[in-house]
Amino acid sequence: MRYFISALGLAGMIGLAHAAPPPAKSVAFAPPPFSAMPGQAFGAEVKLGENIFRHTTVYAKGIIGNDLNCSNCHLDAGRLAGSAPMWGAYPAYPAYRAKNKKVNNFGMRLQGCFAYSENGKVPALDSETIIALEAYSFWLSTGAPTGATLAGRGYPKLATPPKPATYAAGEAVYKANCSICHGADGQGQYAHGQTVFPALWGAKSFNWGAGMGSIKNAAEFVHANMPYGAVGTLSVQQAWDVAQFIDSQDRPQDPRFVGSVAGTRAKFHNNKFSMYGETVNGHLLGASK
């Protein structure tokens, strides 16, 4: 007997083969408490990673080029859900990154943070700094499944604003809600030579290549995590407006600079969420060194 597949059956099979996989369900996860930190040599490395993460300006002095700590963007020492926690990132690598168009391991992802968010040098993959941060992130991820989507990873997605975000509206939100901590000019606040509240623009902040230089990323972070001590008080519109305002300020040059602002925007910033190469208040963003 000959076997055959009807045209309808074949079409159905092709359709199934090309159908998008069902969305992955988020897996609940909680990192271990600090009281469970291991001892001996590995525990010492984990502790060093925690110190680098919390106090980057002290423990990575000479490597970073600004005054930001890792914990300024990854709150509660990288533990807080919805604030790009390290336990949500570590099990997700290796992974392809469109930013550098290659598969990255977790150490390479950390290197990117030093290059862009910290506006600094890039530590070697076998450096004490990278290994300690990997050890700390690995420990925070104790028990987490690899390759799964963990609930609370990254920043929560944010709806499109009811109205287009504007600089003027964002400036008003900033003055009323953000300047008390981050300063009228976004310069941050410091005590005993250490960062208390981070600079949001200027020489002490992240450079144009950092993820927080995306209005979308900044709006998601702000809406989920700010203002400090009053989370949930900003509307979706206000989060987008203030992100637009913050990302419309001068900051250190993108280290991928190709020799011109226009060329750098065309190659790395050609999207609606980047203000690099745009003119605001008569000033070309990205033109300052």
Identify whether 156 is part of a domain: no
Give the whole-number percent of the chain exceeding pLDDT 70.
92
Are 118 and 191 within one domain?
no
State how many domains the chain has.
Answer: 2
Are 103 and 205 within one domain?
no
Tokens of 161: 């604003």
Return the minimum-mean-pLDDT range out of 15-29, 76-90, 201-215. Answer: 15-29
Identify whether 280 is part of a domain: yes
Helix count and strand count (H, E) for the chain: 12, 6
Are 112 and 180 within one domain?
no
Only one residue has tokens 């750098």, namely 264
Identify whether 121 is part of a domain: yes
- Please, what's the b/e burial string for 193-213 (b: 16 or more CB within 10 A of its CB; e: otherwise)? eebebbbbbbbbbbbbbbbbb
Exposure of 11 by Cβ count < 10 A (0-12 exposed, 13-18 middle, 19+ buried)?
exposed
Per-residue pLDDT at 26: 86
Are 81 and 184 within one domain?
no
Q: What's the pLDDT tens digit per position in 19-59?
A: 444 456 789 999 999 999 999 999 999 999 999 999 999 99
Per-residue pLDDT at 9: 39
Identify whether 190 is part of a domain: yes
Are 97 and 205 within one domain?
no
Are 176 and 258 within one domain?
yes
For the chain, the average pLDDT equals 92
For 168-195, what is the mean pLDDT?
Answer: 97
Q: Which domain holds residue 87?
A: 34-140
Tokens of 48: 């060093």
Q: What's the pLDDT tens digit per position in 93-124?
A: 999 999 999 999 999 999 999 999 999 999 99
User: Which CATH number belongs to the domain containing residue 61 in this structure?
Assistant: 1.10.760.10
d(Cα 235, Cα 154) in Å, to the nearest integer? 20
